[in-house]
Amino acid sequence: MTPCGLPGKKRSLLFPAGVLLVFLFSAFLQPALPQAAEEAMLRVYDRQSGALYAEAPARVNSRLFFGWIHSLEKIPWNEYYHVDEKYNLVLDSITFPAFGAGIPEDKGRVCYVRDGLIHMEEIGQIFTELVWLNSRTATQDILLDGRPVTRGSDLPHHARIRLVIEKGETNGTP
């Protein structure tokens, strides 16, 4: 058996119908409360100096794409996050073309192969920030809601970089 199961086969958790009905019924009973949209920014900083390299407006449910090249295997690795109600980054899924050194075999609750990529979904891992040692060639695109924020080639080489969602702040200070 392959680490993901058979190619194209999904494994997932199924909810009993009664649980789903209770959830749907309770959703209709909840009054719709207006929520003030709190300002938030995705910011990319130098972790040591605090220099601000890039920023973009963010909100709850914004989608972050972080693409990079695996340093040993030299394969593209894509990470997909969403912003939760506490302005954390939640890793939803990853895609990559092959297994190799340091690549997990079973991250998430759903795993399948499609169009030459291994997909691991429903991960749900929470991050208050992302920190990495930047490589101008390994770090690829960073997108928020489909719009470019920055690329590794635009950031200092071998600098420790910090990406964070900051709420209620409008200036560029960490």
Domain boundaries, given as residue ranges, for the chain: 37-167
pTM of the model: 0.75
Q: pLDDT (tens digit, 9 = 90+) per residue, 111-169?
A: 999 999 999 999 999 999 999 999 988 999 999 999 999 999 999 999 999 999 998 75
Q: pLDDT (tens digit, 9 = 90+) per residue, 3-62?
A: 565 344 444 433 333 333 333 334 444 444 444 456 899 999 999 999 999 999 999 999
DSSP string, 3-72: TTSSTT--------HHHHHHHHHHHHHS---------EEEEEEETTT--EEEEEEE-TT-EEEEEEE-TT
